[in-house]
Chain A
């Protein structure tokens, strides 16, 4: 079946602009995660959803970052007033549940803030 998909694959924006990154999880997966990965580093947790609600948003760096999952499927990560330091690959993952369940990652969205 289809894996986790993310759009766009690349996004270039100017400092101060607003961006939205979309994640389409594997059908039937109730848990959805967002991570951010900088060059040469491992993925860094941002937020995860169990169903429609954010179960843990402790990784969001500041209030410019926000994510939603209104129907418990597709999720959107929203970044306001982008800064150059936001440039990274944003990865989405999904799993059947949480805890020990294997997380399946999408290919990521590469965000570049000029």
Chain B
């Protein structure tokens, strides 16, 4: 079956460092992947979408890559700040419905 997986262990980093989060998929080839941010008690908020023919996409301090050979997307936050602390979810769209990974909790310490 199609699976999308993220590292369930929390990621703790120091302010100013680059955070890198991983999303792996198996048994399918998504045309694109999406990344969302979710804060406690809130719904997910869309951040970035990357298509299979795009190797990299950037938005301010965010960068997403898509490697169809490794079946993996990496999400980077450069110059991280405590305000970046949240859970980050990757997802793919399957006929309208979003299929999410389990999310990775990021904690940025000052």
Contact = CB atoms under 8 A, between A and B. Distances in A.
Interface residues of B, number: 22
A102 B44 CA distance: 11
Main secondary structure of the interface of B (DSSP, over half): strand
Contacts of B8: 40
A77 to B, nearest CB: 15
A31 B97 CA distance: 10
B93 A100 contact: yes
A98 B93 CA distance: 9
Contacts of A40: 8, 102-103
A42 B42 contact: no
Contact of B96 (A41, A56, A102): A56
Interface in B73-92: 89, 91
A4 B96 contact: no
A31 B93 CA distance: 14
A99 B93 contact: yes
Given A56-B95, A99-B93, A100-B93, A43 B100 contact: yes
B100 A42 contact: yes
B46 A102 contact: yes
Interface of A: 4, 31, 33, 35, 40-45, 48, 50, 55-56, 59, 91, 93, 98-100, 102-108
